[in-house]
Chains A and B, each alone.
Chain A
Amino acid sequence: MPVRGEYLGMALTIDDLDVENLEYFRHCAEHDFHLQACAQCGRLRYPPTTACPWCMSLESTWKPVEGKGTVHSYSEVHHAIQPAFRGKTPYLILLVDLDTQKGEPTPDEALRVAGNLTTADGQLAPAEMVRRVGIGTRVRMVFSDAGPGLALPQWTIDETATQPERPWRYPQE
């Protein structure tokens, strides 16, 4: 059965043939982050794929992964393109290095998981919070519900973590 949801007025669909995405988002719907672990080389991968990008194996198992990491890069959007995001600017698009498997198998590789900066309950972050986040900020994963059976991974400031004194932000505010 295809999964359908709605988020910020956008109609979301995962086709019933898309087994990898169905499984990924099934875990997200339970607010539980899972990634595929390759049955052959053991590496985790993101986003979901049919084969392992390191060893081409088709076999994998879904493993729970801790949703904690550091902002690797970001964009702060001021001019929304999609109708869903109009009236939501500025919003942050984050690329977050998960602590798990960071620097493997080569030093510059990481599981870099995308998401918006949100509040702890998964609402797009207010402007005041946007201004506090940059490269180096420690974040934790939360979820935005998008209907029954579907939720999107998001990022919020990890208030319990040790934060950099000043995360790196674009010089012009």
Chain B
Amino acid sequence: MPLPRTEVDATTPKYLRDKYAIVGVGETTYTRGSGRTTRALGTWAVRNAILDAGLKASDIDGMLDYSGGDSTSATFIAGDLGIRVNYFMDVVGGGSSTEALVGIAIGLIEAGCCKTVAIFRSMNGYSQVRIGGTGARSAAPVMGDMLHNRTYGWQSAGQNFAPTFMRHMYDYGTRPEQVAMVKVAHSHHASNNSKAYYKRRYTIDDVLSSRFICKPLHLLDCCVETDNATAIIVTSAERARDMKQPLVLIRGVVGRCSKPRLDMHYQHGPISTVAGYYAKNILWPNSGVGPEDIDVTGSYDAFTFTTMLQLEDYGFCKKGEGGEYVSSGAIQLGGRRPNNTSGGHLCEGYTHGMNMVIENVRQLRHDADDSCPIGPDGKRRHTFDYSEGGCRQVRDVEVSANLGWANPATASSMVMRRGW
């Protein structure tokens, strides 16, 4: 009997490499208690991205967004900004959607449906719908398939992913103090980012002495919940060349690539392997680069463990050596390959993946918005002094990778490079 497990070759002709670009990025402040609707936040973020690109409303003719019923449709955001769209769609989803929607945007432009696409995520993730399933959602009625999980107090993201995290420690001897280094690194980055919700630098001890949420997760292994909207603008490289910002080209995209048995992926082991294991076989060939070529990563940090697992399964280190890799100094500013230089979800704010893409676009422009002085030409003079409150720019960064996560069984990713 043929198993539906055969490796599928999803690599594309290489002509799509460098044919599309991210030309604008924008966000709101990262807050708790925005005091505004998701419609207002989304409008604000998309407007910021359009202005960042040096475009006007009439230059945008496509709009995509994602949510879990906790946001406002493109119908309203486009209308409020005076954008008449040739293609718009609201997609259901959280983490992993950013890179996946970049893939859709490329396909739409390639198919002639539209020319320039704004992608946004708007959420009051603290003051309205809390992603951890707390608040009103925690007492929702338990129906049908949920009887196999919620009845066991197995509901929140941390509870859901914990068996993968725990089994990784068992399979490979990964230690709590190694994984805690993800929080340490990202908090150091956030201390150099005035936008970050948490700017304090944390130590391994801080992480390990914070209270347990669900083992192996301490409070400080978990990301922050915030209110914010984020947006990016995708168009063809051809159009991008005439635009305001330094060119940031898309080399390759993977969208929501899954492990077998997506609905109940724990049936198919090893459960300490995540979907990046499959996604890497699309990402690297399509991008024409490998992990060794990447200067900066944005590995989704809903939890410290998610960053580690993805870096490992995409091949930034050998399988099982993720703990060693994230605690080696490599992922910290000044290290071999910094990860989440804005502070990511653990410190900057929770956006379901988009702030890590925004940060890498700024890194590739060599324009991380840190406190370095701005010269007479309007460009930052980066000092590359990464001490607290200092520089956040990675030196000479040319190529980045974003590794998006929805759950252990679902991965999206994207390689971008600095254009010329």
In contact, A108 and B270 (Cβ under 8 angstroms): yes
Chain A contacts for B151, CB-based, 8 A? 7, 10, 12, 146, 152
Nearest-Cβ distance from residue B172 to partner chain A, whole angstroms: 12
Interface membership of B138, Cβ < 8 A: yes
In contact, B269 and A77 (Cβ under 8 angstroms): no
Interface membership of B315, Cβ < 8 A: no
Interface membership of A122, Cβ < 8 A: no
Partner of B167, one of A14, A25, A49, A73: A73
Partner of A109, one of B4, B214, B267: B267
Interface membership of A116, Cβ < 8 A: yes
Nearest-Cβ distance from residue B415 to partner chain A, whole angstroms: 29
In contact, A14 and B152 (Cβ under 8 angstroms): no
Chain A contacts for B260, CB-based, 8 A? 53
* A88 nearest in chain B by CB position: B153
- Overall SS of chain B's interface: mixed
Q: Give the docked Cα–Cα distance between A152 and B144 (Å).
A: 13
Nearest-Cβ distance from residue A72 to partner chain B, whole angstroms: 7
In contact, B1 and A170 (Cβ under 8 angstroms): no
In contact, A116 and B153 (Cβ under 8 angstroms): yes
Q: Give the docked Cα–Cα distance between A12 and B143 (Å).
A: 6
Q: Give the docked Cα–Cα distance between A147 and B155 (Å).
A: 22
Interface membership of A95, Cβ < 8 A: yes
* 10 cross-chain CB contacts under 8 A: A25-B147, A47-B145, A76-B212, A81-B155, A93-B153, A93-B154, A105-B3, A112-B267, A116-B153, A172-B176
Q: A residues engaging B (CB < 8 A)?
A: 7, 10-15, 18, 21, 25, 40-41, 45-47, 49, 53-56, 72-85, 88, 91, 93, 95, 105-106, 108-112, 114-116, 135, 146, 152, 168, 170-172
A-B contacts besides A81-B133, A81-B155, A111-B267, 14 pairs, CB < 8 Å: A14-B147, A46-B264, A49-B263, A53-B260, A53-B261, A54-B1, A76-B214, A78-B212, A78-B214, A81-B156, A91-B153, A108-B270, A116-B152, A170-B166
